[in-house]
Amino acid sequence: MASRTAPAARTRPEPPEPAIAPDLLDRARARFAAFPLVRDWRLSIEELGPGRAVLALVPSEATLNGPDGVVNGGVLATLADVGCALALCTRFDGRMPFATSDLHIRYLEPARARVRVEASVVRASRRSAILECQLLCGQRMVALCTAHFAIKSRSQPPGTT
């Protein structure tokens, strides 16, 4: 009996992320500069690109769990949420017509140094988006996060059908 092979799966390629406005990083920094979270936690927005964001946190007394020098887990979860929101806002020219509806974070090891947050859009539609965020101390990943955002129905990202 001849063997049968399954037909190749048809996948629709994801459309490329639209370019962001050249001033979006400056606008995002200005918008968040007055937030106590940014100021008091020594958080900085390092980079924004199409569907991605990079943040950095320099640990301070406000973000540590006591004298052991470990960044608080709630602080790491907040960083992941902010990073994902900033990555998604690049699809809306800096606007944020969405809300976090689910966030899952897996802590891999204690964060004892500067934390780099790298967030990116995995998939987005008119109504929702899935994002991934890695939190790193140097080259070591200390936490991995996935998040789902609900997008308000009248706010469609450019290039989305």
Give per-residue burial for 27-57: e unless 16+ CB within 10 Å, then b.
Answer: ebeeebeeeeebeebebebeebeebbbbbbb
Contact predicate 51/121, CB 8 Å = yes
pLDDT tens for 22-48 read 999 999 999 999 888 888 899 999 999
Domain annotation for the chain: domains and CATH numbers: 24-151 (3.10.129.10)
Q: In which element (H, E) is residue 92 found?
A: none
Task: Find the mean pLDDT for residues 84-112.
Answer: 97
Q: In which element (H, E) is residue 119 found?
A: strand 115-124
pTM > 0.75: yes
Contact predicate 147/131, CB 8 Å = yes
